[in-house]
Amino acid sequence: MTKIVFMGTPTFSVPILEGLLESGYEVLAVVTQPDRPVGRKHTITPPPVKVAALKHDLLVLQPEKISGSLEMAKIAELAPDLIITAAFGQFLPEKLLQIPRLGAINVHASLLPKYRGGAPVHYAIMNGDDKTGVTIMEMIKKMDAGAIYKQAEIPITKNDDVGTMFEKLSLLGKELLLDTLPDLITGNVTKIPQKEDEVTFSPNITREQEMIDWQKTAEAIDNHVRGLRPWPIAFTTYEGVRWKIWNVTPLNETTKEIPGTIIKKDKSQLWVACGANSVLALNELQPAGKGKQTITAFLNGVGQKVMQGDKLGE
């Protein structure tokens, strides 16, 4: 039986771990990020993969930094045949990659060589891509640069956001990994080098990237909002106060107003001028210090002071 050390952290990783267990692979240990404070009360919360691993009485290792750690020494002691990672969240040192006789492989949520890095799903949606996918790849010292074992595509619809795509890609990744493993274990899989001239990157989202640029078209802003939902969430400002923007709709309307101008306001609608004379309706938002609200609840509450002609993003 092939002995595996699994490394993953968020909800994306859980179906992949569960798939390995359901298929009879021996998981010697699960390596995940340390418990972290979550929410306004900073409640110390275990990562989803830890919760899943403990349900199966698996050994859980949680190094703050894997390189040179006691947990890395423990992995060497376990002598796995294979390391499998899925959104683990840390670089793996070369010494660790050399431990398993079958090497280390990664379930990456993009069609490599497009979108190497930590936020491939965010960038695919923000850039308006109509498809993305999963790559099963060899892990090497350079980030996401190893040879490709297998890939599978999936469409991105106009209703998708990061949350829905992670759910779809996790299940797709599980299926693709389980399809790849038998051939990889028997040495019957072909590795395809990545085309370096086609490489693009998807670094982690910065605070500045979360801000809505009203000079962009309504469609591009819709992509931006969905590409940052359910985290970290796009925002704009009104009179210096931050509004998180959860849901918007590009409208089949035009305007000559300056981008960022509120061009229509009644008890249930708030329309904003965008770039290229396009118009966007705000559907859900979250004013600073408040919970997420429908636009109707907002306009009949704290949003009553908002007036047509006011500017967002200033």
pLDDT of residue 40: 75
Which residues of the chain are in CATH 3.10.25.10 domains? 207-311
Which of 15-29, 33-47, 64-78, 232-246 has the weakest average pLDDT? 33-47
Average pLDDT over residues 298-311: 95
Closest CA to 174 of 20, 44, 294: 20
pLDDT bin (cut points 50, 70, 90) of residue 39 is: confident
pLDDT of residue 73: 97
- Does 217 have pLDDT greater than 80? yes
Consult the annotation and say whether 170 binds a ligand: no
Residues 285 and 306 sit within 8 Å (Cβ to Cβ): no
Average pLDDT over residues 203-226: 97
pLDDT of residue 106: 97
What confidence tens digit (pLDDT) does each residue in 235-294 have? 999 999 999 999 999 999 999 999 999 999 999 999 999 999 999 999 999 999 899 999
Residues 203 and 126 sit within 8 Å (Cβ to Cβ): no
Consult the annotation and say whether 172 binds a ligand: no
For residues 90 and 168, the model is more confident at 168
pLDDT bin (cut points 50, 70, 90) of residue 314 is: confident
- Does 197 have pLDDT greater than 80? yes
Taking the C-alpha atoms of residue 216 and residue 230, their distance in angstroms, rounded to an integer, is 21
pLDDT of residue 177: 98
Which residues of the chain are in CATH 3.40.50.170 domains? 3-198
Residues 99 and 78 sit within 8 Å (Cβ to Cβ): no
pLDDT bin (cut points 50, 70, 90) of residue 232 is: very high
pLDDT bin (cut points 50, 70, 90) of residue 49 is: very high
pLDDT bin (cut points 50, 70, 90) of residue 75 is: very high
* Residue 92 host element (H or E): none
Taking the C-alpha atoms of residue 247 and residue 190, their distance in angstroms, rounded to an integer, is 43
Helices (H) and strands (E) in the chain, counts: 8, 15
Consult the annotation and say whether 111 binds a ligand: yes
Closest CA to 246 of 224, 214, 213: 224
Q: Tell me if the domain spanning 3-198 has CATH number 3.40.50.170.
A: yes
Answer CATH for 207-311 from 1.10.1740.10, 3.30.1370.60, 3.90.180.10, 3.10.25.10: 3.10.25.10
Consult the annotation and say whether 112 binds a ligand: yes
| Residue reference for tokens 């910065």 | 206
pLDDT of residue 1: 83
Tokens representing 32 are 């995940």
- Does 6 have pLDDT greater than 90? yes
- Does 41 have pLDDT greater than 90? no
- Does 226 have pLDDT greater than 90? yes
pLDDT of residue 128: 98
